[in-house]
Amino acid sequence: MPISLKDEAVIVGIGQTDFTKNSGRSELQLAAECVKAAIADAGLEPADVDGMTTFTLDSNDEIEVARSVGCGDLSFYSRIPYGGGAAVGIVHQAAMAVATGAANYVVGYRALNGRSGQRYSQGVAGDIVTSDLVHWGWYMPFGLLTPTSWVAMFTQRYMHVTGCKSTDLAEVSIATREHAVNNPNAFFHGRPLSLEDHQTARMICSPLRLYDCCQETDGGCAFVVTTRERAADLAQPGAVIRGIAQGSADDQEQMTSFYRPEIERLPEMELVARQVYAMSGLGPEEIDAAIIYDAFSSIVLFQLEAFGFCGIGEGKDFVQDGALGREGRLPTNTHGGQLSEAYIHGINGVNEGVRLIRGSSVNQPAKNDHVLVTAGVGVPTSAMILGQL
Amino acid sequence: MSELEKKKTEFEARIREFVGLPEGPPYLCPDAVNEAMIRHWCDAMGDQNPAYLDADAAAETVHGGLVAPPTMLQSWEMRGYPMHDATRLLPQNNQRKLHAAFDEAGYTGVVATDTEQEYARYLRPGDRITAETTIESISEEKATALGIGYFIVTRSVFSDEQGEEVGNLSFRVLKFKPAQEAQAAQESAAAPAKPTRIRSPYGHDNGWWWEACQEGRLLIQKCSGCGELRHPPRPMCGSCQSTEWDSIEASGRGSVYSFTVLHYPPIPGYDFPCPVGLIDLEEGTRICANIAGVEPEDIHIGMKVECMFDDVDEGLKLPFFYMVE
């Protein structure tokens, strides 16, 4: 009988740095700070940690972070590729490690100087030295160099097929901004967004305008995962992982899966959705709140469809009338998301998912039995459903 | 007076001796006013006035027959290719002597700045024109964007066989010391190379495709095992796992499946706004490339397009998909 990860692992600590546009410190320091904070939040000591996991894109080696924080011996370390799709992927790594006994307490982290250092918005030019340069070579000569340009191609097709308008995308941006307005850690704290602001903002890559695009942020976020048994003795109410999965679908490319018969949906996220619902035994009607990866406004609509909150092509209708607000059908990205809080590659979303389960979000909805957290879009991708321990 | 000032005074005295002198003897234009030159000139200028081109229509106008466009005036006396090389003009030509004096003093640059023309009557086919050109004036020394120099104005008077003036024109050139040009050349030598588009690397799996582009051919990889077409190229067929492959040449015809118009950030080496499309080729594969020949706001999904190869940077030819009516 294969091991199921259902209810085997619990997120017991979360930590983060401040989110800024210029941290003034190294990425390693940001990593050390958020890891230390997550360990302290769990009521643990650094020496308790024996596993580490992060993104292949992270510049901070596990052993460097362990030395900096004073974690001592490590018996597990791993990395997950493909940008934001790794955010729940590394939770998955941690959950498997603790469930199998490879480690007892695994820290996941992501720390970057995303604004003052290497900026994703500046494109993939020149300094790529990885083996996927050939892949980018199909796009670079034509000017498709930025995440916005890649996602714009999907979004244009989606709008053509579904009738979705730019004003529908604005519903997503405005809803998440309303959450950020209440969040002192958010870049857009206290600064609401009007429909007019959204519609008159400059075009980045048609049809995506400025406020359809996420932040660029300096900062770090980390979390600690352990087993149910150990979690019961720790400082915080645990967020238990009811279902968790990764997914890369047929004909997958990194950000440019342009060659499928249809590109106006996310088969990789549909694959993840099937798995997390199957593992947890839950369905969309039992999800009380969600963290939906929002590097761009349009991909929230794609994912609402992939996770069955509405039919395919109906995301634009679902988000009307405040559905993503605290009182709405599906309170979503209650921290302000990556559009309005910070872009920490989805790990700030993981941490907000934990806060929603704890009941400590600044925009806490009344019901919080189950929270969906998704990560990544247009790349091999991941998601989980969190519940009460 | 410094040596420099003395030299300048001498130079100016020398050049001012030319003012009022004829460029040379009166010049009988080599061809009579004729319909062939008129037609060529109208072709080049895009002028379709029937008074210049259609004898029957011209007969119905106030002219009572074909006439030459007045602005052709100077073209009747143009001396063709020898004008390119002053040494091929007669040595007694005063304008040549004047320019030589400027050249010796370091004012080696020359640029035409403007002309003013007056017309006394329309010229008709058969008119024989004589031009008499005089060096009319030389300005004070001027500092211009091109360099320090002097404006020289010549006036040409055109007359017919009866000696009646048919028109005249002034022609102004600047003779200058191209100091700034030299400086600009220095600067451009020091400046970094002009930014170019980012090219794809050439590897085992894709180099052949990009090389065909440089020959203006759009290829599609074809599996030798099962015949499936695939793009972008890959080393193995996802359907039959064969590593044997060939390619076919695409017709270049297709339609827009999706697109985006890039506005920001304006990446050096690319023209913005920059339209990029996913094109469904009629062979069945899809390709990413730039869309051209259409205003960005007129691009739409389903639009018919056809591929043409354009040179974008030195040694880089790329496929562009142009809208087909």
Interchain pair B263, A144: CB under 8 A: no
Q: Rg of chain B's alpha carbons, rounded to an integer?
A: 31
Long-range contacts of A271-276 (CB under 8 A, 24+ apart): A271/A245, A271/A247, A272/A245, A272/A246, A272/A247, A272/A306, A272/A374, A272/A381, A272/A382, A272/A383, A273/A306, A273/A307, A273/A308, A273/A383, A275/A243, A275/A245, A275/A247, A276/A243, A276/A244, A276/A245, A276/A372, A276/A383, A276/A384, A276/A385
- Closest partner residue to A138 (CB to CB) among B197, B232, B316 is B232
Nearest chain B residue to A126 by CA distance is: B198
Token pair 């304006």: residue: B266
pLDDT at A130 over 50: no
pLDDT band at A126 (very low <50, low <70, confident <90, very high): very low
pLDDT tens-digit map of B181-207: 556 666 666 666 788 999 988 877 888
Show residues of chain A in contact with B289, CB under 8 Å: 142
Closest CA–CA distance from residue B235 to any residue of chain A (Å): 12
Interchain pair A134, B201: CB under 8 A: yes
A109–B contact, CB cutoff 8 A? no
pLDDT at B267 over 70: yes
**What pLDDT, on the 0 to 100 scale, is given for residue B80?**
72
List the single best residue of B218, B234, B236, B264 to mutate versus A (max A Cβ within 10 A): B264
**What pLDDT, on the 0 to 100 scale, is given for residue B143?**
81
List the single best residue of B202, B214, B237, B262 to mutate versus A (max A Cβ within 10 A): B262
Domains, chain B, ordered by start? 3-33+68-188 (3.10.129.10), 207-323 (no CATH)
**What pLDDT, on the 0 to 100 scale, is given for residue B182?**
59
A163–B contact, CB cutoff 8 A? no
The predicted complex's ipTM stands at 0.83
pLDDT tens-digit map of A266-288: 999 999 999 999 999 999 999 99
Show residues of chain B in contact with A142, CB under 8 Å: 276, 288-290, 318
Domains, chain A, ordered by start? 9-117+214-388 (3.40.47.10)
Classify residue A336 as left (phi > 0), alpha (psi -120 to 50) or beta. Answer: left
pLDDT at B78 over 90: no
**What pLDDT, on the 0 to 100 scale, is given for residue B9?**
87
Rounded to the nearest 10 degrees, the angle between the axes of helix A147-162 and helix A297-306 is 60
Answer yes or no: are the C-beta atoms of A365 and A331 closer than 8 Å.
yes
State mean pLDDT over A242-254. Answer: 94
Q: How many C-alpha atoms does A172 have within 13 Å on its Cβ side?
A: 32
Percent of chain B with pLDDT over 70: 92
Find the range with the poorest average confidence among A47-61, B19-33, B212-226.
B19-33
Show residues of chain A in contact with B201, CB under 8 Å: 133-134, 137
pLDDT at A222 over 60: yes
Closest CA–CA distance from residue A314 to any residue of chain B (Å): 20
d(CA A259, CA A242): 34
Cα B278 from chain centroid (whole Å)? 33
Closest CA–CA distance from residue B216 to any residue of chain A (Å): 16
Q: Tell me which of A174 and A61 has the higher pLDDT.
A: A174
Q: Tell me which of A193 and B177 has the higher pLDDT.
A: A193
**What pLDDT, on the 0 to 100 scale, is given for residue B183?**
62
pLDDT at A73 over 70: yes
CA distances from A216 to A178, A219, A303 (A): 19, 10, 22
Interchain pair A138, B288: CB under 8 A: yes
Length of chain B in residues, anyone?
325
β-bridge mates for residue B323, sequence order: B305
CA distances from A80 to A53, A88, A103, A120 (A): 8, 10, 17, 18
pLDDT at B268 over 80: yes
pLDDT at A128 over 60: no
Nearest chain A residue to B203 by CA distance is: A134
d(CA A296, CA A318): 17
**What pLDDT, on the 0 to 100 scale, is given for residue B100?**
86
Q: Which of A355, A346, A335 is nearest to A374 (CA)?
A: A346
Q: Which amino acids of A are annotated catalytic? A: 293, 343
pLDDT at A129 over 50: no
d(CA B78, CA B69): 16
Q: Which residues of B touch A (CB under 8 A)?
A: 197-201, 203, 205-206, 210, 231-232, 238, 257-265, 267, 270, 274, 276, 278, 285-286, 288-290, 296, 301, 312, 316, 318
- Closest partner residue to A143 (CB to CB) among B201, B258, B290 is B290
pLDDT band at A212 (very low <50, low <70, confident <90, very high): very high
pLDDT band at B235 (very low <50, low <70, confident <90, very high): confident
**What pLDDT, on the 0 to 100 scale, is given for residue A315?**
97
